[in-house]
Amino acid sequence: CSWRFSLLHLVFSILFFFFSYPHPLWCLTDEGVISVQTALYGRADSDTCGTGKAPEEVANTACALDGALDVLKTRCNGKTWCEVSPDVFDSDPCSDTFKYLESTYSCVPATHLVVCEHSLAHLRCDEGQVISVCGADYGRRDHETCSFRRDAAQIQNTDCSHPTNKVAESCDGKRTCTMRASDSVFGEPCPNTTAYLELAYTCQSPTTPKE
């Protein structure tokens, strides 16, 4: 989903952190869901996260991974909590440079749905508005969600996050939309694990095509 800077942006945060360990992005329950605005993975100056580093490790200040913003948007948008680490990026923009992640994100109000495997997700907007999906994930990130009458082995794997664009591709621009939470739609994220679909969306005025 897209957002303008307005009163709807309840939180606007800037993150500077050493990128050698996992780091969370989060929104409180009443603040909405994550909407990543900017992201830089690399190094843009010699001072940030440079304490104790050799001069040659912070000398390259023109180091930025192409596509870092898309990676964070896919992984975090639409969630109330998201963890990022070096593993989320598939390449190293400058191997001899000590890198950091600089990111800005907002917590924006949205409808948040969790749908257990084999059930249906119903997305609806009022007349005159259309769906804009903020983000979606099919997999498992905790032991409790959709755990009723499930064997312990089926809910054991909580490192089973699988961001997906399929909900946005099917539902964006529509007033109503139904999606089934199933492996046949989203693929099997983790073998022998009971998955669920987690998504967030907003209702917006239809975009008028530019002539």
Which amino acid type is present at position 42? Answer: G
Greater pLDDT, 21 or 129 = 129
- What is the Cα–Cα distance from 64 to 51, expressed in whole angstroms? 20
Same domain, 99 and 161: no
Asked if pLDDT for residue 85 goes beyond 90, the answer is no
Does 99 lie in the same domain as 39? yes
Under DSSP, the state recorded for 87 is: G
Alpha carbon 121 to its chain centroid, in Å, reads 19
pLDDT confidence of 43, banded at 50, 70, 90? very high
Indicate if 101 and 166 belong to the same structural domain: no
- Six-digit token string for 79: 């969630």
Three-state DSSP at 88 gives helix
- Under DSSP, is residue 183 helix (H, G, I), strand (E, B) or coil? helix
For residue 193, what pLDDT is reported? Answer: 94
Q: What percent of the chain has pLDDT over 70?
A: 88
- Mean pLDDT, the chain, integer: 85
What is residue 189's predicted lDDT score, i.e. its pLDDT?
92
Please give the backbone phi and psi of residue 109, each rounded to the nearest 5 degrees, phi first: -70, 135
Residue 23 sits at the vertex; the CA angle it makes with 19 and 24, to the nearest 5 degrees, is 155
In the listed set 58, 91, 108, which residue is the last one of a domain according to the structure?
Answer: 108
pLDDT in tens, 64-83: 999 999 999 988 888 888 88
Q: Let me know whether 66 and 40 are in one domain.
A: yes
Read off the pLDDT band of 168 (50, 70, 90): very high
Instruction: Domain of residue 195: give its range.
Output: 111-204
